[in-house]
Amino acid sequence: MSTIKTKDGTQIYYKDWGTGKPVLFSHGWPLDADMWDSQLNYLAERGYRVIAFDRRGFGRSEQPWTGYDYDTFASDINDLIIQLDLREVTLVGFSMGGGDVARYIGRYGNERLAGLVLLGAVTPVFGKSAANPNGVDLSVFEGIRDGLRKDRAQFISDFAAPFYGTNAGQTVSEGVLTQTLNIALLASLKGTIDCVTAFSETDFRDDLAKVDVPTLVIHGSHDQIVPFETTGRAAAEAIRGAELKVYENAPHGFAVTHQEQLNQDLLAFLQAR
């Protein structure tokens, strides 16, 4: 397998397909790099080098007991970019992965970047706080952690309905649901739980203020997991010159339900750079 060692010695798995201008994908919770296979294949067939990694604790990467915070995630991305010597790379982050790539820019800057894409991302702030009164109440995330501790397999199986919007008119195959559960159960339980705290309580506003590359924000209008108005819309408003695309009635998991549209929009964004 293709792996790197991070600064703290954690082994991170990655896929590296195709040749051309690089595009680096950061996956959502509780998934891994396999969520991107359609996008990776589509873009690699059209002349791009596409890289997708498994976040520490997930998929084929190592499962350390600690390090499930956004400063560490950003450091892992920096280690990957440096070791692969990626330049003029476009970062694509979905859901909690949007936080990864935003924090990377906040800590390491825009020098190696050509663009940024945020898909259903938790940026700028997901959870409710005194500084973010319109966010999702933190009791929701405590319920998620409790559900994972009690019966992770059933919790993730149930979570798929709002994730893919099958409770609101969307349709996905039994194969997708099976793959989603299988991927989620590969992950460290500790990492899965700790990431809930990380993505619900981290503030990315300072990171977004440092974005200085062309940016595309895509969000589903019927996202039941990461509400559009307080995340996607707010992120687009916070980033200078960002382009916002709203997929009408799309759920959180629109990389599956709106696969063709997303692939075409990613290609158009890349071709314009």
Average pLDDT over residues 89-97: 98
Distance CA 26, CA 100 (A): 7
Domain ranges of the chain: 3-271
For the question of residue 223 being annotated catalytic, the response is: yes
The string of pLDDT tens digits covering residues 16-40 is 999 999 999 999 999 999 999 999 9
The string of pLDDT tens digits covering residues 53-86 is 999 999 999 999 999 999 999 999 999 999 999 9
Burial, 169: exposed, middle or buried (Cβ in 10 Å; 0-12, 13-18, 19+)?
Answer: exposed
Percent of the chain with pLDDT over 70: 100
Check whether 198 has a pLDDT greater than 90: yes
Average pLDDT over residues 143-162: 98
- CB of 252 closer than 8 Å to CB of 29: no
- CB of 84 closer than 8 Å to CB of 16: yes
Predicted confidence band at 222 (pLDDT cuts at 50, 70, 90)? very high
- Model pLDDT, residue 273: 84
| Catalytic residue (one of 16, 100, 194, 223) | 223
For the question of residue 206 being annotated catalytic, the response is: no
- Model pLDDT, residue 1: 81
DSSP 3-state of 143: helix
| Catalytic residue (one of 95, 188, 200, 258) | 95
DSSP 123: -
- Model pLDDT, residue 239: 98
Average pLDDT over residues 98-125: 98
Percent of the chain with pLDDT over 90: 99
Mean model confidence pLDDT for the chain: 98
Length of the chain: 273
Check whether 148 has a pLDDT greater than 90: yes
Helix axes 96-108, 189-201, angle to 10 degrees: 70
Question: Which ranges in the chain belong to alpha helices (H)?
Answer: 37-44, 70-83, 96-108, 138-164, 174-186, 189-201, 205-209, 232-238, 254-257, 259-271
pTM over 0.95: yes
CATH class name, domain 3-271: alpha beta
DSSP 54: P
Distance CA 170, CA 136 (A): 23
For the question of residue 95 being annotated catalytic, the response is: yes
Residue 255: phi and psi, rounded to 5, are -65, -20
Distance CA 247, CA 254 (A): 8
